[in-house]
Amino acid sequence: MVNNINNSNTAKSSYSYLQYKNKVTGLASGMDIDSIMEKLMKAESAQMEKLQQQKQKYEWKRDAYREVNTALSSFETGIFADYGLSKSWNAKNVTSTSSAISATANSTASGNLTITEATVATAGQKVSSGATVEDLGLTGNEVQVAKPVFTDATTMKELGLNGDGEFTIKAINDQGTYTEKTIKYGENDKLSDVLQRINSSGVGATALMSNGKISLSANSTGTGAEGSIKISADGNQLFQKLGLADATGKVAEGTNGSMVVNGVKMESTSNKYNVSGYVINVTNNIAATDAPAKVSSTTETKTIVDKVKEFVNTYNGLIEDLNKRVSEKKNLSYQPLTDAQKAELKDDEIKKWEEKAKAGLLKSDSNINKALSDMRSVLVNYGSGTEDMLSKLGITTSEVWSDNGKLVVDEDKLTKALEADPNAVSRVFVGDPDKGTKGFISELRTTAQNTVKNIEKTAGRASSNEDAYTLGRNLKDVNTKIDDWKDRLKSIEERYWKQFAAMESAIQKANSQSSMFLQ
């Protein structure tokens, strides 16, 4: 007797849900049981395939929403960095007639400055005289190794300091705070060791040694604490021995800087001054008898015009993408492929099919349509009734219907507006800090950010839990239903195989009995 049932792991059909299959050959009945099973299970799988297609639609829509959010997030952060700060529109060409004065200008700089006198602010600094050890009165047992001149290898003991010691140094640190640090040393520490500890302490002073001389300088300029260095708790009088401090511990004080600009005297603890939108740096003294330094600026109009056009292109690119998503037609003839259908296609065929099936996923989407409407409203209504309307700068919405709200720039009008008011673009894009007004970039950012938040309620983020957003909950529900169907289909398939096996066995038995009567 031929056994028609073969329990083995064989290649599964597209519609097989079993890890193994009771292979029934169909030799007794002469039937193509594999083909029949494929058709039966395909019919049984119809409901589950609809769920798989729905799952794919949810995933595609979720991913499409996230693509929109990525674009919106990039847009809003980008426009703030590139167009939403005052420095973004700082296109000023500054000139100074004196090498003693350098200057830069922000977007609000205006007028000319004449500087008739200037003095440079200095930092507290003391340089030792480079005395020999004999000058310090160090003789006999106090000097183990004769040193004609200080070197960075000179030890504390060679300076007559036995045992451990310490001192406290005070100065302005990098954060602008008057601070103090305690530096410790031992008798075998080198002079270079002590100087390095000062430099690395963060106290705001720099100690250097060269050619037998030591300099100690405050990192900050100005009179008083800002430019001074103070030594205290120096029990061994190290700094007095080095010729760097007096009996009170004072090393040196800096001096304030000053300048007379347009007849007005100004003082500063640094050499930097902010005057009428200019940042003035004094690098050398200017006496009253010297030729005055004249500082002026001109607006680089073409640079600003080009930057406005750059913004318009960025905005239009986003608008074009969003409009395409909400207006794209759906291809109802192309539904998502099921797992069984994908198994019968090549990769490039699947790709082409899915490109058509994904069309129109966000057609007429309310969140995106609202974003488009709100952004258009921001641009049209900003500064309404004032000279700060975008239209006054030659920036308007295209009158071509198919442009769907894109912006256009009238370069001639924009150029003339800048020539009449160099700060116009900065004021409109960034706002006016003097009046406490915001620029339209800020309003556009808010619109984009609100849209992102709304879309996240539907599509979440890549890191979001499925329960946290609508499409995630939908996916979780449909996955549960698909798993239930797979379990059901396994049982159905098992039942069919058993029925075919029983049929084959019965036919084989009948055939055996029939052959007995024919003998």
Chain mean pLDDT for the chain: 87
If one compares 294 and 240, the residue with the highest pLDDT of the two is 294
Chain segment 225-246, per-residue pLDDT in tens: 788 899 999 999 899 888 888 8
HSE-up of 105 (CA within 13 Å, CB side)? 22
CA atoms within 13 A on the CB side of 226: 13
Given a contact cutoff of 8 angstroms between Cβ atoms, the answer to whether 84 and 439 are in contact is yes
Selected residue with higher pLDDT from 11 and 173 = 173
Q: What is the DSSP letter of 466?
A: G
Give 185's strand partners: 165
21 bridge partner residues: 8
Comparing C-alpha atoms, which of 162, 171, 126 is closest to residue 142? 162
Checking if the pLDDT of 4 tops 50, the result is: no
Say yes or no to pLDDT of 400 above 70: yes
Helix 46-83 crosses helix 301-327 at what angle (to 10 degrees)? 170
Lowest pLDDT segment from 260-264, 287-291, 462-466: 462-466
pLDDT above 80 for 512? no
Which residue has better confidence, 13 or 99? 99
User: What is the average per-residue pLDDT within 339-346?
Assistant: 87
Q: Stretch 492-498: mean pLDDT, rounded?
A: 88
Give the residue carrying structure tokens 């007379």. Answer: 260
| Sequence-ordered alpha helix ranges (H) in 2-116 | 33-44, 46-83
pLDDT at 36: 86
Distance (Å, whole) CA 105 – CA 111 = 11
Cα separation of 311 and 457, whole Å?
29
User: What's the rounded mean pLDDT across residues 176-191?
Assistant: 94
In this prediction, residue 142 carries a pLDDT of 42
At residue 2 the predicted structure's pLDDT band, cuts being 50, 70 and 90, is very low
Q: How far from chain centre, in Å, is Cα 274?
A: 30
| Predicted structure pTM score | 0.67
pLDDT band at 174 (very low <50, low <70, confident <90, very high): confident
pLDDT at 22: 62
From the number of C-beta atoms within 10 Å of its C-beta (0-12, 13-18, 19+), residue 281 rates as middle
Residue 6 reports pLDDT greater than 50: no
> DSSP label at 468?
G
Hey, which residues does 201 pair with through a beta bridge?
A: none
- 3-state per-residue secondary structure call for 89-134: HCCEEEEECCCCEEEEECCCCCCCEEEEEEECCEEEEEECCCCCCH
Q: What is the pLDDT of residues 298-342, one digit of tens each?
A: 889 999 999 999 999 999 999 999 999 999 999 999 999 988 888
The stretch 354-367 carries a mean pLDDT of 95
Q: Which residue has the higher pLDDT, 144 or 320?
A: 320
State what percent of residues in the chain have pLDDT above 70: 90
Per-residue model confidence as pLDDT tens digits over 107-130: 778 789 999 999 999 998 988 865
Identity (one letter) of the amino acid at 347? D
Predicted confidence (pLDDT) per residue in 441-483, tens digit? 999 999 999 999 999 999 999 999 999 999 999 999 999 999 9
Half-sphere exposure in the Cβ direction for 89 (13 Å, CA)? 28
The mean per-residue pLDDT over the stretch 49-67 comes to 95
DSSP assignment, residue 245?
Answer: -
Of residues 111 and 19, more confidence is placed in: 111
Query: What is residue 141's predicted lDDT score, i.e. its pLDDT?
Result: 42
Check whether 90 has a pLDDT greater than 50: yes
Residue 23 phi, psi (nearest 5): -70, 120
Within a 13 Å sphere around the CA of 384, how many CA atoms are in the beta-carbon half? 5
Helix (H, G, I), strand (E, B) or coil at 467: helix
Residue with tokens 């001192």: 167
Q: How far is it, in rounded angstroms, from Cα 42 to Cα 132?
A: 103
Percent of the chain with pLDDT over 90: 59
- pLDDT tens per residue across span 268-284: 988 999 999 899 999 99
What is residue 8's three-state secondary structure?
strand
214 φ/ψ angles, rounded to the nearest 5 degrees = -115, 135
Q: Which residues lie below 8 Å from residue 63, measured CB to CB, with a gap of 6+?
A: none
- The β-bridge partners of 92 are 299
In whole angstroms, give the CA distance from residue 179 to residue 363. Answer: 64
| Residue 1, pLDDT score | 33
